[in-house]
Chain A
Amino acid sequence: MRTGSARYLSAVKVLLIEDEPELRRSIRTYLQGEGFVVDSANDFPTAHEKTTQYIYDAVLVDITLPKGNGLDVVRELRAKHPTTGIIIISAKGSLDDKVRGLDLGADDYLPKPFHLPELVARLRALIRRKRFDGNTAIELDELRIVPEDKLVEVHGQRVDLTIMQFDLLLFLVANKDRVLSRTAIVEHVWGDMAERLDHDGFLYSHMKNLRKKLLEKGCRDRIQTVYGLGYRLSTRA
């Protein structure tokens, strides 16, 4: 869906509300590199002003803000712009903050520290849900993915993937042409609350299987291993 993704990605406007300057800069640069239009606010009054004046597709909001609370931003936004996607990015990685944030109408909750590819993947999933009610396919030339149906096709032929392989592929596609570290991938697939398993070797064999399944159906060899770092899904020929 090159044309399709270009159509909606070019227009996606994101407001980043984060008071830590270095983190703000990193997120901003990374998201811009992914084609998002990023506006930012560093405290509550600025956030309030911007959310009142403009309409964003998505707002990333930190809970602890100078001169106010991010949860209030969530409440205000939800009342005014129900279609805006809201992701809470918080250092207060506690369960009740998560529950409270989601109760107030946030769409997702991402505890710090997070991987930027994870943020991108969630942001894309959110935009997809908000804009197209989830009825959208992601297309990369011969590769077609329908996230809601967990469907993957190559040249119109269905590829049978396990849930985990599907998650892996979706994560790679959401961050196409980016290097994804192994830890980012593992954390995406297994979450971070529970104890970590030693699965680097497992990830490797899974990646190999995924690649094999795609190649068998005639997909281009898109999944590349990047040195000792991780993987990348390439859209380039």
Chain B
Amino acid sequence: MKLLQRSSLYQLALAVPIVIVGTAIGYWLVSAVVKEEVDEQLTFRSKRIAQDLRNGKEDFTTGASSEMMLVVPGVSAGTMFMDSVMPEPEDDGELMPWRIGRFPAEYADGTPCTITVGRSLLETEDLVMGIAASMTVLLLLVVLANLLLNRWLSRKLWKPFHHALATLERFRMDAPSAGALPASDVDEFNAMNRTLDTMMMKMRADFTTQKRFTEQAAHELQTPLAVMQGKLDQLIQSPNMGEQEAGTIDGLFQARERMGRTVTHMLLLARIGNRQFAPERIDWSALFRDQHAALEDLITERGINFTMHEEEACRVRLHPLLAELIVANLLRNAVQHNIPSGSIEVAIHASSFTIRNTGPELPVDPTTLFDRFAKGDPSSASTGLGLSIVKEIADGNGLLVSYTISHGTHTIAVRNG
């Protein structure tokens, strides 16, 4: 749930009791005021009746159906008001609310009597309801307006936050910085943006340093490896070499070769990510044919059936050298991890190409397949970097590489991302 929705929900939860209690209080207040007003009117009327009584008037009937006045002899306890109901003759005798007041008074001759005046509350009831209803509407409007204002404000206020979030989502350590996060007029966001900027800068710097270190380390190793290789190449020309020495030297050759390959691939990986290679249109089927030709003998030797199907010219664009690297690595991978008399199928589509090959179950977790140094057999001469090179090239050029396996068939697909 979004922060905005959550805060709106809380506001709404608070608004409901406020409206209810507010309406109740409003109703009670208005009716209290109205009642007091009616009581005052009744008191006023009773005073006039008392006046008339002193003047000797005795008949106090009124024609109005909403009013009542009655003077009966007898001593009364004192002034009192009460709510009451009376049947309404004009409305089938239905009971209607009335306010009744009793006041002690005297006839002209001094005998005590009681004045009872009443007033139908039907009209005032309508008034109270009207006022209460309008108050409720008003309250609801205020709550609604508040909610909308909050939403709008939040959107506006949280804008820097959402911007920072989007930037973080897009953040890549190996991509150049798109500039600092924009300044905001909210201190908290400014502080956050500053922290984030520093963090991203540091991460980029660390990453670059690390890559440069890999590059330098690999580079520094090249020359001694070349010296070693040169000495070994000379050494094996020695005419008087026994079988034992030959075995030892062969071991050195193998080790040197593996070391050199690992270093070359590390360097390549570090550099693919570091540099920009302008993509071009590639004739993928020609590239596959070339790489297949280079491996043809090996493919035939292992009895592997190679087929290529071009549905449409593939429009995946890449730098030619990188394209060659991808194809060479994928094809070699398909040959290396195949079974005798297996098959390799290359399919080229408009926006993707796939290499499907038979092969034994993966000894590694498929999700780590593209990881560096992921090898099925730790002792194999493979550097375990071939597929990471493919992945690195794809990542750096907006392509997607996927791996799927079903029924002993491994499929690697490269498509436009």
| Residue ranges of A at the interface with B (Cβ–Cβ < 8 Å) | 20, 22-23, 26-27, 29-30, 33, 91-96, 98-99, 111-117, 162-165, 178-179, 181-184, 187, 190-199, 202, 205-206, 226-230
Contacts and interface: CB of A to CB of B under 8 A. Distances in A.
B237 A182 contact: no
Contact of B336 (A117, A162, A181, A198): A198
Interface string B38-61: 000000000000000000000000
Given A112-B222, A196-B381, A227-B246, A94 B268 contact: yes
Given A22-B227, A113-B225, A193 B233 contact: no
A95 B250 contact: no
B301 A205 contact: yes
A112 B298 contact: no
B135 interface: no
A181 B249 CA distance: 10
B227 A198 contact: no
13 contacts: A20-B226, A23-B223, A29-B234, A94-B267, A95-B277, A96-B271, A111-B222, A113-B228, A192-B260, A194-B328, A226-B236, A228-B246, A229-B241
B233 A184 contact: yes
Given A181-B253, A197-B332, A23 B236 contact: no
B236 A229 contact: yes
B301 A113 contact: no
B250 A23 contact: no
A183 B268 contact: no
B147 interface: no
Interface of B: 219, 222-223, 225-234, 236-237, 241, 243, 246-247, 249-250, 253-254, 256-257, 260-261, 264, 267-268, 271, 275, 277, 293-294, 296-298, 301, 321-322, 325, 328-329, 332-333, 335-336, 380-383, 385-387
B229 A115 contact: yes
A191 to B, nearest CB: 8
B133 to A, nearest CB: 79
B142 to A, nearest CB: 67
A139 B203 CA distance: 61
B227 A181 contact: no
A229 B298 contact: no
A107 B93 CA distance: 119
A22 B298 contact: no
A196 B382 contact: yes
A33 B246 contact: no
A91 B223 contact: yes
How would you classify the secondary structure of chain B's contact residues: helix, strand, loop or mixed? helix
Nearest to B385: A195
Contact of B264 (A165, A183, A193, A228): A193
Contacts of A23: 223, 226-227, 230
A195 B331 CA distance: 10
B108 to A, nearest CB: 125
A229 B226 contact: no
Contact of A162 (B219, B226, B267, B296): B296
B383 A195 contact: yes
Interface centre among B229, B268, B333, by most A CB within 10 Å?
Answer: B229
B335 to A, nearest CB: 6
A205 B298 CA distance: 10
Contacts of A199: 298
B319 to A, nearest CB: 8
Contacts of B222: 91-93, 111-113
B223 A181 contact: no
Given A26-B230, A183-B257, 19 more contacts: A27-B230, A30-B233, A33-B237, A94-B268, A94-B271, A95-B271, A96-B271, A96-B275, A113-B228, A115-B229, A115-B233, A163-B293, A163-B297, A164-B294, A192-B261, A194-B386, A198-B380, A198-B382, A228-B243
A193 B268 contact: yes
| CB-CB nearest 7 A-B residue pairs | A195-B386, A26-B230, A91-B222, A227-B246, A113-B225, A194-B328, A113-B226
Contacts of B223: 20, 23, 91, 112-113
B329 A116 contact: no
Contacts of B321: 95, 98-99
Given A112-B226, A116-B229, A195 B219 contact: no
A198 B260 contact: no
Nearest to B336: A197
Contacts of B268: 93-95, 193
Contacts of A228: 243, 246-247, 250
B53 to A, nearest CB: 119
Contacts of B277: 95-96
A142 to B, nearest CB: 25
A112 B231 contact: no
Contact of A195 (B231, B234, B336): B336
A163 B382 CA distance: 24
Nearest to A187: B257
Contacts of A190: 294
Nearest to A186: B257
Contacts of A30: 230, 233-234
